[in-house]
């Protein structure tokens, strides 16, 4: 079945540090891949997505590239801010099956 594995948290970084959150997947067919973000006390919201191999999703300085050969979709940001503190979820959808989420990675950025 479809599954997503993302790095365990929590991750604590200083402001302006480089961020990588690893995400790998197992899926049948050709899935779409997503990163969702959950700020404290809120629901999830889409951060970025990629729908085919080699696509790069980007938003708010975050980027992730759909790598079919390594079945990965790692999230990166060159310089994090305190306001980026949140929980980040990697997810996939294949065919018309419901979205499958990873367990989430909590990021704390300190000034």
| Burial of 38 per CB tally in 10 Å (0-12, 13-18, 19+) | middle
Q: Residue 83 interacts with another protein (CB under 8 A)? A: no
Which lies closer to another protein via its Cβ, residue 42 or residue 54?
Answer: 42
Q: Residue 78 interacts with another protein (CB under 8 A)? A: no
Report the residue from 2, 104, 107, 109 that binds another protein according to the rule CB under 8 A: 104
Q: Residue 57 interacts with another protein (CB under 8 A)? A: no
Half-sphere CA count of 57, side-chain side, radius 13 A: 21
- Residues of 8-34 as b/e, b for ≥16 C-beta within 10 angstroms? eeebebeeeeebebbbbbebeeebbbb
Q: Residue 101 interacts with another protein (CB under 8 A)? A: yes
Report the residue from 28, 51, 79, 81 that binds another protein according to the rule CB under 8 A: 51
46/55 Cα distance (integer angstroms)? 16
**Residue 67: which residues within 8 A CB-CB, separation 6 or more?**
53, 54, 73
Q: Residue 43 interacts with another protein (CB under 8 A)? A: yes
Q: Residue 32 interacts with another protein (CB under 8 A)? A: yes
Which lies closer to another protein via its Cβ, residue 19 or residue 27?
Answer: 27
Q: Which residues bind another protein (CB under 8 A)?
A: 31-32, 36, 42-46, 49, 51, 89, 93-104
């Amino acid at each position: 079945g479809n599954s997503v594995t993302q790095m365990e948290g929590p991750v604590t970084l200083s402001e302006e540090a480089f961020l990588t959150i690893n995400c790998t997947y197992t899926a049948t067919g050709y899935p779409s891949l997503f990163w969702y973000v959950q700020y404290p006390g809120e629901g999830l919201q889409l951060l970025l997505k990629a729908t085919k191999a080699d696509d790069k999703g980007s938003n708010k300085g975050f980027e992730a590239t759909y790598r079919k050969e390594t079945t990965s979709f790692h999230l990166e940001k060159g310089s994090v801010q305190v306001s980026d503190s949140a929980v980040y979820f990697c997810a996939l959808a294949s065919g018309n099956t419901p979205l499958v989420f990873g367990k989430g990675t909590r990021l704390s950025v300190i000034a």
